[in-house]
Amino acid sequence: MEERLQVIDLLQQVIDKTIRYDKKMQNFIKDKLFKENNMMKGETQQLLNGDLYQIEDNKILCLLMMAIHDLFPERSKKRKYDVNNYFTEEEIEEAIATDFTPKENPIDFPIKIHNVLQVGEQDFITVLPFKFLYELKNKHIMNYNSRVKKFVNKKSVQAISELLKTGRYKPDTLTLNVCKGSSNSSQNELEYDFDTKTLTINKSVIELIDGFQRFQGSKMTYIENKNIEVNWQVAIKWYDEKSVHDFTSQMVQYNKVDKGRASFLVQAKKSDLLVNELVNESELKGKVSTSSKIPINSGEIVSYSILSDTIDELFIFNTITEMDESLDFFKRFFNALVSSYPEAFITDVKQVKKLSLINSNSVFAGYIVLCKRFMDNDKDIGELKKVLDNIDFNKSNPLWESLGILKGGVVTPSAKKNFKKFFQSLEL
Q: Residue 255: its pLDDT value, please?
A: 57
Residue 85: band (very low, low, confident or very high) from pLDDT cuts 50, 70, 90: confident
Specify the pLDDT at position 269.
Answer: 59
Higher per-residue confidence, 241 vs 167: 241
Which segment of 89-103, 284-298, 341-355 scores lowest on mean pLDDT? 284-298
Interval 210-219: pLDDT, tens: 888 899 899 9
Phi-psi region of 179 (alpha: psi -120 to 50; beta: other; left: phi over 0): beta
265: pLDDT confidence band, cut at 50, 70 and 90? very low
- Helix H, strand E, coil C: the string for the chain is CHHHHHHHHHHHHHHHHCHHHCHHHHHHHHHHHHHHHCCCHHHHHHHHHCCHHHCCCHHHHHHHHHHHHHHCCCHHHHHHCCHHHCCCHHHHHHHHCCCCCCCCCCCCCCEEECCCEEEECCEEEEEEEHHHHHHHHHCCCEEECHHHHCCCCHHHHHHHHHHHHCCCCCCCEEEEEECCCCCCCCCCCEEEECCCCEEEECCCCEEEEECHHHHHHHHHHHHHCCCCCCEEEEEEECCCHHHHHHHHHHHHHHCCCCHHHHHHHHCCCHHHHHHHHHHHHCCCCCCEECCCCCCCCCCCCEEHHHHHHHHHHHCCCCCHHHHHHHHHHHHHHHHHHHHHCHHHHHHCHHHHHHHECCCCCCHHHHHHHHHHHHHHCCCCHHHHHHHHHCCCCECCCHHHHHCCCEECCEECCCHHHHHHHHHHHCCC
| Region label for 160, one of left (φ > 0), alpha (ψ between -120 and 50) or beta (otherwise) | alpha
Q: Residue 137 pLDDT > 50, yes or no?
A: yes
Give percent above pLDDT 90 in the chain. 37
Bigger pLDDT: 254 vs 393: 393
Higher-confidence position of 8 and 122 = 122
Q: Grade residue 208 by pLDDT with cuts at 50, 70 and 90.
A: very high
Q: Is-contact 299 286, C-beta < 8 A?
A: yes
- pTM higher than 0.75 for the full model? no
Per-residue pLDDT, 100: 82
Q: Whole-angstrom Cα distance, residue 115 to residue 132?
A: 15
pLDDT at 4 over 80: no
Could you give the CA distance from residue 116 to residue 129 in angstroms, rounded to a whole number?
14
Residue 152: which pLDDT band, with cuts at 50, 70 and 90?
Answer: low
Query: Does residue 259 carry a pLDDT above 50?
Result: no
* Mean pLDDT value of segment 333-357: 92
- pLDDT confidence of residue 258: 43
Where residue 376 falls among pLDDT bands split at 50, 70, 90? Answer: very high
pLDDT(81) > 90: no
Instruction: Look at residue 264 and tell me whether its pLDDT is greater than 50.
Output: no
Contacts for 331 with CB less than 8 Å, ≥ 6 apart: 278, 281, 282
The pLDDT tens digits of the residues spanning 68-77 come to 999 887 777 7
In one-letter notation, the amino acid at residue 193 is D
pLDDT tens by residue, 163-172 = 888 777 887 8
pLDDT at position 297 over 90: no
**Of 155, 137, 216, 204, nearest to 177 (Cα)?**
204
Q: For residue range 268-286, what is the model confidence (pLDDT) as tens digits?
A: 456 777 887 787 788 888 8
- The whole-number average pLDDT for the span 360-366 is 95
Nearest to 165 by CA among 214, 225, 234: 225
Confidence of residue 124 (pLDDT cuts 50, 70, 90): very high
